[in-house]
Amino acid sequence: MENTMNGKNWTNRTNRSDENLLFTHGGYRNLRSFQMATLVVDLNVEFCERYIDKRSRTHDQMTQAGRSGRQNIAEGSQAAGTSKKTELKLTSVARASLEELLLDYEDYLRQHRLKIWAQEHRKT
């Protein structure tokens, strides 16, 4: 069914049986970002258990930042089925959480007078 509005033809898609109502979503376990975030969470927990005092706020913050990054990737992927806006918001939260964790590691290196290698360094 064609409708004309302001001189333009708009297709009425409500009667089409072949159109999906929901966007593709889920499948986050196959996302490279989720897989890498899972690795980051596991290694981060191991690092914190070994090198950060368990009673310190830093230990809790670092653990939660890693977890938040991973969880928000999963939540964003699931939300994609109904809201691209929510998907983007949760993806942004995931990136911010992982950036926070990166800054915590930079702080640790600086405070312990350890070198921060450039991304191109052969050991990175």
Q: How far apart are CA 81 and CA 94, in angstroms?
A: 18
Residue ranges of domains in the chain, CATH in brackets: 23-111 (1.20.1440)
Fill in the DSSP letter of residue 46.
H
Coil, strand or helix: which one is 33? helix
Beta bridge partners of 3: 10
Q: Is the dihedral of CA 13, 17, 21, 27 positive or negative?
A: negative
- 36-51: pLDDT as tens digits: 999 999 999 999 999 9
Tell me which residue of 20, 21, 22, 25 sits closest to 91, measured CA to CA. 25
Question: Tokens 């302001």, residue?
Answer: 6
- Residues 61-91 have pLDDT tens digits of 999 999 999 999 999 999 888 888 999 999 9
Q: How many CA atoms lie within 13 A of 64 on its CB side?
A: 7
* Band of residue 124 on the pLDDT scale cut at 50, 70, 90: confident
